[in-house]
């Protein structure tokens, strides 16, 4: 086993004192995170897809499937004259 001297701030030393017997485990966990971060690259940014995948992986959040429609979106036909809505209203009034 190797002994390594480390200089710590007073606050950090105070926080670590109760966990003194677990320091090797804490250092190993921290080192694992640092290595993982370095492997991903510091410049990598979290994308919307990453966030959605993380939320869905929890099982708590289920995302809806994107709507797929076989019907193509159509633009309305422009016509001169009385609007169809007014014709329908007039027809209903005369039918009573």
Q: What is the pLDDT of residue 40?
A: 66
| Other beta carbons within 10 Å of 55 | 13
Q: Is residue 85 part of a domain?
A: no
Q: Going residue by residue through the chain, which has 96 residues, state the pLDDT in tens, using 9 for 90 and above.
A: 788 888 888 888 888 899 889 888 888 888 888 777 776 665 566 777 877 777 777 776 667 776 666 666 677 777 788 888 888 898 888 876
Contacts of 41-48 with C-beta under 8 Å, sequence gap 24+, read none
Split into its structural domains, the chain has a count of: 1
Find the domain containing 43 and state its range.
8-57
Q: Is residue 84 part of a domain?
A: no
Q: Is residue 49 part of a domain?
A: yes
pTM over 0.95: no
């Amino acid at each position: 086993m190797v002994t390594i001297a480390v200089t710590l701030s007073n606050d950090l030393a105070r926080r670590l004192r109760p966990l003194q017997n677990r320091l090797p485990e804490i250092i190993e966990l921290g080192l694992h995170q640092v290595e993982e971060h370095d492997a991903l690259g510091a410049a990598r940014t979290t994308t919307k897809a990453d966030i959605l995948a993380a939320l869905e992986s929890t099982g708590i959040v289920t995302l809806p499937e994107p709507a797929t429609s076989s019907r193509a979106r159509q633009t309305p036909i422009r016509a001169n004259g009385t609007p169809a809505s007014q014709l329908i209203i007039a027809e209903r009034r005369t039918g009573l």
